[in-house]
Each structure stands twice: as structure tokens, then as C-alpha cells.
Amino acid sequence: MVLIFGMSLISASTNDNLTMAGAENDLVIEDINTESYSSLNVLGVQSQDEIESSQDSYIINQRNYKMYFDNEGVLKDEYGSKILTFNGEFTDKGVLTINSDNTKITGRNTLFNNTVFNIKANGVMLTNLKFVLNESFKNNANAGIYVTGDNVTVYNIDMTYDTPGDVDAIGVYSYDNTGFKLINSSFNYIGHAFHNGRNYPVLLYYSDNANIYGNSINSTVPLREIDHGSFYGDKIASFAAGYSQNLQFTSNNVYADINFGEYQNGVKYPTLSSVYIYACDNATVNKNNIKVEDLYTRKNSANYLYALDVHRLNNMTVVENNIDVFTYGGYGRDGTAYPMQITGPAFNLKVAYNYLHSISNGPNIGIYSQNYYGPTQIDIISNFINITGKAGSDVYELVAGIEVQDSNDRILNNTIIVDTVGGYKAGDRIYGISYSQGTNGNHKYDIKYNKVKVPGPIAISLNQGLESTTSDTNVMYNILVTGIGEGGDKAVSIGGTGQNNIVRYNTNGADTIRHMSERDIPSWLKNYNSGGNGNGNGVDLSWLNTGNNAGNGLGNGEGSGNSLNGKGQGNGLTIKSNVNGNNINPSTSDAVRGDANSTRYTHGESGISIASASSSAGSGSSSSSSPSESKAYEITKQIQELDEINYIQTIIGIIIVLILLIIGYKEKEHTKEEY
């Protein structure tokens, strides 16, 4: 018996090293922070007098601008590739077109009222400009700034756009180009496409190698029904990117709330995808604050909110983001309030170190992923997920930290807290990790080292009551705390006809703290943790007037380069120092927008009686810090403690066997002597 016990422990240790077939291939992040602009330096800057006296620099104002632009608003050739400083206000000038490469445009106390830009040339820079728009610009692809040239930089602009009703209205639109950069800019956007048209403060379409960094995007937009199956099926988004390879979306603050001023009643699926990314292979979403609020949809009414909505792409990395969703809405099986949605086919998606929080009165899931349109494979590692919704007995009345209807997933070392409005009732579908809404094919999971707390009896539910199969799945070394039942192994349910599923060494938290071992960390995450992030390509802004700025510009070229820390005080260039991706709540949610810790989370007409406990993200040791700071839930590099116990027990078992054999042998010899 002792030998069998020892062998079982050795077998368990071997099973612990199982990994998904092929999952290690192509899982290396290269230069994840390459575009973080840690190498931007505003050094060797000319003074204003030097700029004005330079033969390559021109001052343009309301009175003389026709000297520089023809009757069609096109920049004259002789002023191309120069430095153009716009001074003062420009009202109703229509579309200003830049056809000349390497033209640099900046502003001095500049305001463009219903005056917009069309950038057709390569290497153009737009910096330090302010826009106030309230019209439609059909002859400029419906955009305030329309970019088709390569390697265009839009830096430190401020745009307020109160759009007309039911038309396409885009703040910045980058189309069919490469190397577009939108940096350190601010958008205040109010959309009115209630029945027709599309609202996007920022839109990228076939815009490869784009870098969207350090921006503040505030949007108030309608809910609209979507048309599935195409990029433009989602008509409303705070940021939208389609078919744009190698996208870098980093250190942005994105806030979206709902415009109900002329809301059309009767919309069947009123939807908002705030950050919407479609078919953008090799994308990185890193260190962003994304927040969505719907304070208008009432309890027992359906709305469909997705903070980060990802479709049909491969090799995407989502790391160290803070994502928060709040709504009073939700009813029965209708409605969503998902911090992250993934729709396949999608391969090699990497989701780590994110803080995800959501509250609603209906179905609610922290990370929802499905392979209905094709196979999906994800790594979900070391995230903190706190979800409150209204669970019920219907398969779509689901509240879960993670719902993965996927082909081959690895779910490791996450902290997950879920709860249901009004308290748990027998039969409610509420889980920490689940595959409970059926899709075809076999499904395979490695689920280890997670800490899960649920109010019901089941913490992990896979394939329960579904026709498809879950096979070759390991559910091991998790701490599973349940409000009903014993937790641990008994809180795991795997249904169906699948084979080779292992449920072992899951506890209810009373015995040991689990640490994921070094050998379980995938290579891409080891690379990220070791700082293999690159230093960025940089942008030369030495041409730009910054007064007497002698500071170090943006970042210092070291480390992750995730903060904008320019020290200069010049009047020409405003450098933001507060966009660092380290705040749990987006800086846009200030007194004007409402704070995430507002009393609406704890009581009032939402009907959410338990939100005060959940709104603080669990109030445990892992809840007080953002993912990019202390990471109470981060990976440790110690050997997993239970493995140590297993090895010790195995050795002890062998020693006991030897002792028993020796005792038996001596007893036998003693018996012989007596005989």
C-alpha cells in the first residue's frame, strides 16, 4: 500500500508537468514595449526666435493662410517639407490637405473650429493643435484628421467633437498606411448616431504597425444593434481597429458612457464595444485603463457592454490593463457587462496581469471567449477578476470569472471572485471558471494554481450537460472556496463523455498557499518578466519649439518606459506626466465623470445589494494594488509547495518501506533462531 501511495504521488508530479501540445511554439513576445516611447527625447530644441527666423519655418494665421494653401485647401508645393506654425484661430476653413512629405505642423495658441486635415503625404507630423468640431466632413472621409500617408505622427492634439445626428463621424481616421502614431492626445467625443451612421473617436483600418500611446479618449455614445460578421458591424466604439497588423495600444485612458438623449426605443440588442479590435494579428494591448459605464439602462432592461472586444486574430498580447464595467442593466438571460470578450478563430492569445472588474444586474463574465466561428487558444495567467452579476438557472443566466468555450486553453494562477445579486439560489449558474455554453468539438484545458471564491457549490464547471466533449484536461492545485459544500476537488464538475481528465490536489484554502512553479511559466511570460521589452523606435521632435525646456523629454530610455515623464516647462510642448497605466481607475473618471468608488456601487436604484463587497475587488490582499505595482497575485519563482510535499512524502514512503522490510527480515531471522 505504501509503495502504491508513493507511486501515485510520483505519477501526480509527472502529470503536473503536462502542457498543451504545441502551446509553447511562437509564444515569445518580442519588444512588447517597443512602441512605448521611452526613447523620445526633446533635446537640442530651437528657441521660438530661431524658428521664426529660419528660412524653413513659416507662421500661418487667419489672415495670411491663403498664401500657403490654394483655393482647394491644398498646401502649395513650395511650402512642403517645411515647419508650419499655425497661430491663433481658424474657423470654417474646410479641409486643409498636406501632399508634401515630411511637412511638420505645430500650433501656437491654435484653435481649429470646423477646420480639419487630410494627410496624404509620408512622414508628416501634427503637434500641439486644438480642434473643436460639430459638423460632418464628408469630403474628408467623415474625419477631423484623415491620414493615408505612411509614418505620420499625430502628437499632443486636443479634439472636442460634438457630432451631428445619424451620420458617420470620426475624430482621427488612419487608413491604408503603415507606421501611424497617435501619441499623448486627448479626445472628448459625443456621438449622436442613434439610428444611422457610425461613431468612432479614433479609427484605424488597414493601418499596419500603428502605435496608439498615452492618449485620453473620453466618449459619450449611443447603444446600437450590431451586424455580426464584419468589422463595420460594430457601429459604435471609443477606439476601433480593423485589419491593422502589429498594432500597439499602450498606456491609454479610455472612458465610455452612454448617450441616451435621443435613444431609439426598441433596439433588440443595444450594444457598445468600447475598445474594438478586429483581425489585427500581432496586436499588443498593454497598461491601459479602460472603463465603461451605462447609468441609463435600468434594472430588468438588457444592454450589451464589452470593454475590450477582440475578434478573429492571432498572436495578441493583453497585459497589465485595468478594465472596469458598471451598469444597472441586465435581465434574466439578456444583457452582458464583460470586461473582455474574445471571438475566434483566434490562436496564441496571451492574457496576463490584468485587473478586471464588472457589476451588473444580469449575465456577467470577466473573460468570455468562444470558438463558434473557429478554433481558439488562449493563455490566461495571473489576472485578478472580480465579477458581480445576477445568476439564474438558464444556461445563459451565467455569472463567471472566466467562460472559455475554447479549443485548448491554459488558465493559471488567477484570483477570481464572483457573486450574484440577491444571494445564491440552488441551481444558479455561477462559477469561477467554466465552459457551460456549448460549442462544437473537443475542448482541452490546463487549470492550475488558481484561487477561486464562489457563493455556490461549484467553482469550476466544464462541459456540464453539453453534447461536446472536454478531454485531456488537468484541474489541479487550485484553491476553491465555495459558499456551499466542501470546496476543493468536490467543487469541480466535468460532464460529458470526455476522457483523460484529471481532478486532483484542489483544496478549500484551509491547508496551504499555492505558488506556481518556475517550470509552469510559459516562455513568453518569462520573457516579459525578464524585461525583454525593447527601447522603442522613438520620434524625433527636436524640430519642435518647447521654450527653454532642458528636461529629458518622454522617458529615459531605460526599463519598461511606461510613463511620460518629461520635465520641461516650455510653453510650446505640453508633456503629460499622469498617463502611466498604473491607476486602477482611469484618470478620466474624475469629478466630472464620476468616480469608480462612488456610492452608486454600494447602494441605490441599481438593486445590487452585494456590490459594496465586490466593488473593492474582493478587499483581500490582492485587491488593493494595481497589476503593474505590487501584483499580490503575480507568479512566484519558488518551487510549488505541494510538489515539495509530494517529493518528501514519496521519500518518506520509500524509507518506511525499507524500514518495514528490515523489520520483517529481522523478525524472520529471530523466529528462525527460536525455532
Question: Per residue in 505-562, pLDDT tens?
Answer: 999 986 667 778 888 899 999 989 887 554 344 667 777 654 333 222 333 223 333 2
What is the pLDDT at residue 665?
A: 64
Tell me the sheet residues that pair with 387: 358, 418
pLDDT for 659: 81
Round to whole Å and give the CA distance between 531 and 527: 7
Asked if residue 208 is part of any domain, the answer here is: no
Q: What is the pLDDT of residue 23?
A: 33
Confidence of residue 2 (pLDDT cuts 50, 70, 90): very low
**Which residue type is seen at 376?**
T
- Is residue 486 within 8 Å of 509, Cβ to Cβ? no
* pLDDT at 593 (0 to 100): 29
Q: For residue 658, is it within any domain?
A: yes
Residue 439 has φ and ψ, to the nearest 5°, of: -135, 160
**In the structure, what pLDDT confidence band is assigned to residue 565 with cuts at 50, 70 and 90?**
very low
Q: Which residues contact 571 (CB under 8 A, 6 or more apart)?
A: 547
Q: Are 212 and 240 in contact (CB under 8 A)?
A: no
Backbone phi, psi, residue 3, to 5°? -60, -45
pLDDT of residue 104: 97
For 499, list phi and psi in degrees, rounded to 5: -130, 165
Task: Provide the percentage of residues in the chain whose pLDDT is more than 90.
Answer: 56
Which pLDDT belongs to residue 650? 59
Q: How many Å apart are CA 405 and CA 395, to the nearest integer? A: 13
**Euclidean distance between CA atoms 103 and 74, whole angstroms:** 13
Query: Number of C-alpha atoms within 13 angstroms, CB side, residue 193?
Result: 26
Summarised one tens digit per residue, pLDDT across range 20-71 is 323 333 323 233 233 333 223 322 334 445 545 556 899 999 999 999 999 9
pLDDT band at 595 (very low <50, low <70, confident <90, very high): very low
pLDDT value for 627: 36
645 membership: H or E segment, kind and range: helix 641-674
Work out the average pLDDT over 330-353.
Answer: 93
CA torsion sign, 548 to 62 to 142 to 307?
Answer: positive
Least confident of 119-123, 203-207, 656-660: 656-660
% pLDDT > 70, the chain: 69
Output the pLDDT for position 43. 22
Q: Is residue 166 domain-resident?
A: no
Q: For the chain, how many structural domains are there in total? A: 1
Three-state DSSP state, 82:
coil
Q: Determine the average pLDDT of the residues in 361-372.
A: 90
Instruction: Tell me how far apart the alpha carbons of residues 108 and 125 are, in angstroms, rounded to a whole number.
Output: 15
Helix (H, G, I), strand (E, B) or coil at 516: coil
**pLDDT band at 441, cuts 50/70/90?**
low
Helices (H), 264-336: none
Please compute, for residue 169, the number of CA atoms within 13 A of its CA located in the half-sphere on the CB side.
25
Judge whether residue 498 has pLDDT over 80. no
C-alpha cell at 359: 457589476
Q: Does residue 669 lie in a domain region? A: yes
- On the question of pLDDT at 563 being above 80, the answer is no
Domain assignment of residue 179, yes or no = no
Question: Pairing mode, if any, of strands 415-420 and 460-462?
Answer: unpaired
Three-class DSSP category at 641: helix
The pTM of this model reads 0.78
Q: Which three cell numbers stand for residue 377?
A: 487558444
- Mean per-residue pLDDT of the chain: 77
Q: Per the domain annotation, does 228 fall within a domain?
A: no
DSSP helix/strand/coil, 139 = helix
Is residue 577 within 8 Å of residue 156, measured between CB atoms?
Answer: no
pLDDT for the residue numbered 497: 66
- For residue 358, the model assigns a pLDDT of 98
295 domain-assigned: no
Q: What is the pLDDT of residues 383-434, one digit of tens each?
A: 999 999 999 999 889 999 999 987 778 999 999 999 999 999 999 999 999 9
In angstroms, the Cα distances linking 273 to 191, 201, 262, 401 are: 14, 13, 20, 19
Whether the CB-CB separation of 576 and 55 falls below 8 Å is answered with no
240-298 pLDDT tens trace = 999 999 999 999 999 999 998 655 566 789 999 999 999 999 999 999 999 999 999 98
Residue 154 counted as domain residue: no
Cα 639 to Cα 78, 348, 379, 647: the distances in Å are: 68, 26, 21, 11
Take residue 323 and report the three cell numbers written for it.
478594465
Range of the domain at 670: 2-11+646-674
- Burial class of residue 509, CB neighbours in 10 A (0-12, 13-18, 19+): middle
pLDDT at 658: 79
Start-to-end C-alpha separation, the chain:
30
For 147, the enclosing helix (H) or strand (E) is strand 143-147
- pLDDT, tens digit, for every residue of 77-126? 999 999 999 999 999 999 999 999 999 999 999 999 999 999 999 999 99
